[in-house]
Amino acid sequence: MPRCGSRDKALGGERGSAAVDFVLIGGVLVLMCMSIVQLALVLHVRNTLIDAAGSGARYGTLADRGPSDARDRTVSLITSSLGPSYAREVAAEAVDSGPGRMLRVTVTSPLPAFGLLGPAQAMTVQGHAPLPR
């Protein structure tokens, strides 16, 4: 029967290496998981802004509405879903486009790089809707 001392010699001095392996692999896995969560947050913010701009543009093309109503509607939608810091720069204008006129709503907002914090004016999205003739 081997003695405890000979067992340590058989391991070749690797005692405690499992803890180091766990820390190294765990750190990489946490970094990967947080990167995926951050990417999902960026896509969520982008899609929410695109939807708000499109909804605002469609609202502004109703018979009794105009570009200022489209802008107000877009700001309201963004503020209620993401917060006021994402609705600081919203513009609505009628533009000529190919076969007819369009109402374009442009939203410029921060890019959420670290959680919901990030560089200002880094993301610009637009929503369009055809104006009635």
Query: Which residue type is seen at 118?
Result: G
* Residue 12 lies inside a defined structural domain of this protein: no
User: How much is the pLDDT for 1?
Assistant: 54
The tokens describing 108, both together, are 């410029």
* Residue 32 lies inside a defined structural domain of this protein: yes
**Percentage of the chain exceeding pLDDT 90:** 68
SS3 64: coil
* Residue 62 lies inside a defined structural domain of this protein: yes
* Residue 35 lies inside a defined structural domain of this protein: yes
pLDDT tens readout for residues 83-121: 999 999 999 999 998 888 999 999 999 998 888 788 888
* Residue 1 lies inside a defined structural domain of this protein: no
Statement: residue 7 has pLDDT above 60: no
* Residue 58 lies inside a defined structural domain of this protein: yes
Residues 9 and 46: their CA atoms lie apart, in Å, by: 58
Q: Which residues pair with 95 in a beta bridge?
A: 102
pLDDT range class, residue 16, cuts 50, 70, 90: confident
pLDDT tens readout for residues 32-88: 999 999 999 999 999 999 999 999 999 999 989 999 999 999 999 999 999 999 999
* Residue 89 lies inside a defined structural domain of this protein: yes
* Residue 10 lies inside a defined structural domain of this protein: no
Torsion angles phi and psi, residue 83, rounded to 5: 120, 160
* Structural domain total, the chain: 1
**Residue 59 lies in domain:** 17-130
The tokens describing 49, both together, are 């802004």
